[in-house]
């Protein structure tokens, strides 16, 4: 606020509170220096709120620059909290609306193993996902059902490859 705005606010306060003396040049300069970063509208709102408050009704103490500044700070803090809450609510809504693709546990374990062995985790995860995709069809070679892993002739699960080549061909034929 500048000196003229302070004079206007003190005039409004004097109309409500008869104990406020007419400000001289020194008082106006001091109030303007104390409230230089407070907008005039905030100062007017602070005077209105102060003289409507229980604190004034109880004590009838004249308003000070500190009262105006404190009101403005509380108002600014409340506004920032409301804006932050609105931003958080919007971000949560965007997160909830976004499609989620959760990685499979196999892909996560493949990534972990690759990181431990020094292999590329992205390639390991992609291979695990490919193995999961290929298991959506039954294997014509070992007769493994859809969702089940391919097996060797002795009944053990394949370890070096995610599936038999014929199962990959069956997946491509399906697509």
55 & 92 share domain: yes
* Domain end position, chosen among 97, 124, 153: 97
Residue 83 to residue 86: CA distance in whole angstroms:
5
Q: Please write the tens of the pLDDT for every residue from 112-123.
A: 989 999 999 888
7 & 74 share domain: yes
Q: Report the pLDDT value the prediction gives residue 127, as an integer from 0 to 100.
A: 82
Please indicate, yes or no, whether the overall pTM of this predicted structure exceeds 0.85: no
93 & 109 share domain: no
Task: Choose among 167, 123, 124, 169: nearest CA to 147.
Answer: 167
Interacting residues of 121 by C-beta distance below 8 A, sequence separation 6+: 110, 111, 112, 114, 115
* Domain end position, chosen among 62, 97, 132: 97
Q: Please write the tens of the pLDDT for every residue from 54-81.
A: 888 888 888 999 999 999 999 999 999 9
* Domain end position, chosen among 54, 74, 97: 97
19 & 61 share domain: yes
DSSP-based three-state secondary structure for 71: helix
7 & 83 share domain: yes
Residue 50 to residue 47: CA distance in whole angstroms:
5
142 & 82 share domain: no
């Amino acid at each position: 606020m500048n000196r003229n705005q302070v004079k206007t606010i003190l005039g409004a306060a004097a109309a409500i509170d008869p104990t406020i003396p007419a400000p001289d040049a020194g008082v106006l300069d001091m109030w303007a220096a104390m409230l230089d970063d407070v907008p005039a509208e905030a100062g007017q709102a602070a005077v209105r709120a102060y003289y409507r408050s229980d604190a004034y009704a109880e004590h009838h103490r004249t308003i000070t620059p500190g009262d105006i500044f404190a009101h403005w700070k509380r108002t600014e803090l409340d506004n920032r909290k409301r804006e932050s809450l609105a931003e958080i609510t919007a971000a949560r809504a965007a997160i909830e609306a976004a499609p989620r693709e959760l990685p499979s546990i196999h892909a996560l374990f493949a990534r972990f193993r690759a990181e431990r062995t020094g292999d590329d985790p992205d390639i390991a995860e992609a291979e695990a996902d490919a193995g999961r995709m290929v298991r959506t069809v039954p294997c014509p070679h070992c007769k493994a059902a859809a969702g089940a892993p391919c097996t060797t002739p002795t009944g053990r699960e394949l370890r070096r490859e995610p599936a038999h080549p014929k199962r990959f061909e069956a997946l491509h034929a399906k697509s």
